Chains A and B, each alone.
Chain A
Amino acid sequence: KNEVEQSPQNLTAQEGEFITINCSYSVGISALHWLQQHPGGGIVSLFMLSSGKKKHGRLIATINIQEKHSSLHITASHPRDSAVYICAARRRGGSRLTFGEGTQLTVNP
């Protein structure tokens, strides 16, 4: 069992829908990253958070340290949001990231 689990693996939505991607982890962490990868493209860091909530545009990331759970929300989704979204946990005291398998999001017009 992976230390970082994401759900769902695949998600299809209609433009304008509110989207939630979930991430659970089983180890103590110092930070959790949400990353985005477009087809054929590199990886872009969306958020790095260790507590609470962060917002950037239509994207919101939350984390509950006690429950070892984080969510990424996209409001008013758009086809250009179609990408793979990956959560990655940095273990407390370490430097490496442990990645989830990613969520393939497709937003249809």
Chain B
Amino acid sequence: EAGVTQFPSHSVIEKGQTVTLRCDPISGHDNLYWYRRVMGKEIKFLLHFVKESKQDESGMPNNRFLAERTGGTYSTLKVQPAELEDSGVYFCASSRTPVPYNSPLHFGNGTRLTVT
């Protein structure tokens, strides 16, 4: 099966611009997660979709970040307007079954975002 794919792999934008990251989970995976790693810090949770619904968005840093998952398939994460501190690597992950069944997580290769 195809893995989790993320697009683009790299993005360099100027402060104030808008960027949209995309994640295609493994087919049939209802659970989709967004995480990010900013320079020098640990990976942190952003949000969790179950199908098209936001199950937990408590990790979203502020209202400049908007995540969607229309139709419960792929997801987008839009940053508008981007700030310097948004630079980092954004990871997407998917899994088949939800907690507490603890099915394995499959990660994408990440999108490296640089805001200048």
Contact = CB atoms under 8 A, between A and B. Distances in A.
A45 B105 contact: yes
Interface string B27-57: 0000101010000011111001000000110
Contacts of A88: 43
A101 interface: yes
A35 B42 contact: no
Interface stretch (B61-69, B71-79, B94-102): B94-102
B102 A43 contact: no
Chief secondary structure at chain A's binding surface: strand
B48 A45 contact: no
Nearest to B37: A99
A97 B99 CA distance: 11
B108 A30 contact: no
Contact of B107 (A43, A93, A100, A101): A43
Given A42-B109, A101-B41, A96 B102 contact: no
A99 B56 contact: no
Given A42-B109, A86-B43, A102-B42, A96 B104 contact: no
A90 B110 contact: no
B99 A95 contact: yes
B106 A30 contact: no
A35 B106 CA distance: 10
A107 to B, nearest CB: 23
Closest A-B pairs by Cβ, 9 of them: A42-B109, A43-B107, A96-B45, A99-B43, A101-B42, A31-B102, A99-B42, A95-B99, A95-B48
